[in-house]
Amino acid sequence: MEKLLCPSMMCADFGDLAGEVSRLEGAGADLFHLDVMDGQFVPNFGMGLQDIEYICKHAKIPCDVHLMTQTPGDYVEKFADLGAKLIYVHAETGPNVARTLQKIADAGAKVGLAVNPGTAAATVEPLLNLVDYVLVMTVNPGFAGQKFIPFVEEKIDLLAAWKEKYGFGMVVDGACSPEVIARLSRRGVEGFVLGTSALFGKGRAYKDIMPELRAL
């Protein structure tokens, strides 16, 4: 299956964001993954609006935004206006997720549903009618450099069995090492958020690493 390689830009060198964007595009990245956090839904702050705007404006490839925020529905239009082509909101943000997913579609972006490690596949099944991509969190959201959570693999198998019926793609986010990419790309996962486990801080050029990851 064709892979979607999505560099997580919160791991990039912000001292040279323009260079990072062009090096990653030159290395064959498919989609930039932009993490937004509100300090409430997750105990951290991700990229700022200026970062999102800059990357969406200067990138040649599409950008997603991963809204790790309590009230994502309030900001869907904002991020669509900034240029996000895929907007992920979390299934855990309360009773009106279906309305928020509809808002993303109405704003003209692809619809993404992010699912935390502790959320069951059955809980989100009805929402799968509304989404283009499911972002399966394989770490607790909010921080790079964490350990992969193995029990999530059972949920990945359940979701993979529903892909055809509901017509969505599956992306995993968190601790995507080469081993994880090799294993999960054989279990129905096409997209991988690439952070410190596979791409950044390796002391090697992105143009050397990315083709290796794509070939796994």
Question: Could you give the CA distance from residue 214 to residue 216 in angstroms, rounded to a whole number?
Answer: 6
From residue 8, give the alpha-carbon distance in Å to each of 2, 64, 93, 95, 157: 19, 10, 22, 28, 24
Which candidate in 13, 30, 35, 157 is catalytic?
Answer: 35
Distance of alpha carbon 4 from alpha carbon 165, whole angstroms: 21
* Residue 116, contacted partner among Zn ion, ligand DX5, none, CB below 5-8 A by kind: none
Determine which helix (DSSP H) or strand (DSSP E) holds 137, and give its type and residue range. Answer: strand 133-137
Catalytic-role residue among 30, 51, 64, 173: 173
Q: Which does 196 bind (CB under 5 to 8 A by kind): Zn ion, ligand DX5, none?
A: ligand DX5
Q: Closest distance between Zn ion and the C-beta of residue 160, in Å?
A: 20
**Does the protein bind ligand DX5 through residue 175 (CB under 6 A)?**
yes
Q: Which is nearer to ligand DX5, 131 or 139 (CB)?
A: 139
For position 66 contacting ligand DX5 by CB under 6 A, the verdict is: yes
Active site residue 35: yes
173 is catalytic: yes
Determine the size of the site formed for ligand DX5 (CB under 6 A): 19
Q: Please pick, from the candidates 27, 42, 64, 66, the single residue that binds Zn ion as defined by CB under 5 A.
A: 66
Measured in degrees and rounded to the nearest 5, phi and psi for residue 123 equal: -65, -35
Distance CA 186, CA 149 (A): 18
> Which residues face 114 on adjacent strands?
90, 135
Alpha carbon distance, N-terminus to C-terminus of the chain: 11
Residues near Zn ion (CB under 5 A) are 35, 66, 173
Residues near ligand DX5 (CB under 6 A) are 8, 10-11, 35, 66, 139, 141-142, 144-146, 173-176, 193, 195-197
User: Mind telling me the catalytic residues?
Assistant: 35, 173
